[in-house]
Amino acid sequence: MALPVPLLCPARFHAVSPTSVVSALPGSARPQHSARALLYVATQLQRVYDAGARAAWFDVHFHRGARRSTIVLDPGGGAAPRRVVTCEQQHAVRRLTTKYLALPATDGWNVVAGAIELARQYALDATTIFHADPPSVDRATRMRLAACLTVSWKFARSLPGGFKRQFTSPDGTVHTLELAVMHAAFLTHGELECLGAWPTEVERWQQMQDVAMQSEASLLDTGLVFPALCENPICAAETALQELYEHRIPGADTHERVLQLRALLPFFLRIALDAEYALYEREVARAAAPDLFANALLACAFVAHTSTFVPTNGTFATACRAAVHRTRQTFSMDEFTLAAEILAVGSALAGRTPAQQAEADDAVFAPWSGCYGDPSWTLYLCVSRPRVRALHQAFLA
């Protein structure tokens, strides 16, 4: 199977470097491909993103600036207290947000969600060659996938990456060649061996950097970037989640609950991307109701979270039925119906045999991978296989 190669610099680095785009190439029409091809593409984007986050190419934490704190000093003797305002915690992170969204699988910065939409509209074009068994795509398509991921990342964070400065030019200037490194992560082992190592194959690596820059320029020239990165299903679901919070809807009425709901959204997106049922491909093409799919994803997260964290007297099944009733009252009938369909797919996937699950987890964009398959994760009970099957049964009741 043609999978991305291991990372070239697995240690953690904190130096940053700028990235520039030098030219633009004309875009072209982007026909739809099979749901299986889209699923494979999503898998590769997530795998490289996961690996990049572990190697600190991508900083997935949520940093905050200096916090203003007021210290009141009382000198005594009846004098009025004096206020001293200081700034501190220059390098702190937002603890609550980082707690739930820092794990790569939760896609807290929407990098993968945006890259998937870019890939659907740009990387999978008329020239794409997709082999179903074993799943793989041609090298040119994989180079476009790398551009989708790098553009999505830079758009989400507006910051350069944490790539190591390990490439030295003849004049002594040290570079990251981060675009070349990112594109190399989408090469097969054989292709990487042909590329060679730096500095013996300096010309090939520089050519890779030039090709990567052209690929990014071509993507930016299509006009697809802003809609794909700002209006993808996860972003639209975040907007709906904000509305629930603003109206203080029970179950989404605190900062922590909102972040927990947001952390669950990519799990249900993964279910919708399953190639056998192809819900993602069907729903994103429905221009008449662009927010319906996003709201249905949120409804799935809402019912899964409510059944776990909202106290209910009774059994596990009783909690699920109560959560479904609350969800029916919160969302429209169309959103509720589509959420039921997503959960039906999830229930079918959860009912696979252990052998089928192992094959799926290895070959596709599996819902129960990353933190979603880790029993030690804080929100694991919301998306465990028994929970998804029970919620589906509660929807049918």
Which residues share a beta bridge with 233?
none
- DSSP, collapsed to helix, strand or coil, labels residue 225 as helix
Rounded Cα distance between 231 and 279, Å, is: 18
Average pLDDT per consecutive 10 residues, the chain (397 residues; last block may be shorter):
41 36 36 79 94 88 71 56 58 86 95 96 91 87 95 85 78 80 88 80 84 91 92 95 94 94 97 91 78 96 92 81 94 95 95 68 69 95 94 91
Rounded Cα distance between 231 and 250, Å, is: 26
Rounded Cα distance between 45 and 104, Å, is: 11
Token pair for 136:
């793989």
Neighbours of 235 (CB within 10 A): 16
- The model carries a pTM of 0.83
pLDDT for the residue 99:
93
Rounded Cα distance between 338 and 244, Å, is: 19
pLDDT for the residue 381:
94
Neighbours of 253 (CB within 10 A): 13
DSSP secondary structure letters along 137-188? E-HHHHHHHHHHHHHHHHHHH-S-------EE-TTS-EE--HHHHHHHTTS-
Rounded Cα distance between 391 and 382, Å, is: 10
Show me where the domains of the chain are located: 35-60+103-222, 64-96, 231-396
pLDDT for the residue 180:
84
Of 58, 143, 140, nearest to 104 by C-alpha is: 58
* Element spanning 84, H or E: strand 82-88
Cβ-count burial 178-213 (b if 16+ within 10 Å, e if not): bbbbbbbbbbbeeebeebeebeeebeebbebbebbb
Residues present in the chain in total: 397
Of 263, 394, 387, nearest to 323 by C-alpha is: 394
Asked if residues 150 and 216 have their Cβ atoms less than 8 Å apart, the reply is yes
pLDDT for the residue 55:
87
pLDDT for the residue 295:
96
Of 239, 257, 342, nearest to 302 by C-alpha is: 257
pLDDT for the residue 82:
60
Asked if residues 324 and 395 have their Cβ atoms less than 8 Å apart, the reply is yes
